[in-house]
Amino acid sequence: MEPIAAVPYTKEETALSPRSLRILDGDVPVTADEVRAFASSLPRSYEAQVRGQVKFRIGQIVYLALSWDGSRMGCGFPKEFRSAAVEAEPEKFARPGESDMRFNWIHVCLAAIDVDEMRDLVEDAWARAVPKYVAEEYALGNGYVRDEVG
Per-residue pLDDT reduced to its tens digit, 53-79: 999 999 999 999 999 999 999 999 999
Q: For residues 33 and 66, is the Cβ–Cβ distance under 8 A?
A: no
What is the model's pTM? 0.79
**Intervals of the chain under pLDDT 70:** 1-27, 146-150
Question: Positive or negative CA dihedral for 91, 116, 143, 146?
Answer: negative
In the chain, what are the domain boundaries? 28-137
**Residues in the chain, overall count:** 150
Amino acid in position 131: P
Q: Does 28-137 carry CATH code 3.90.1150.30?
A: yes
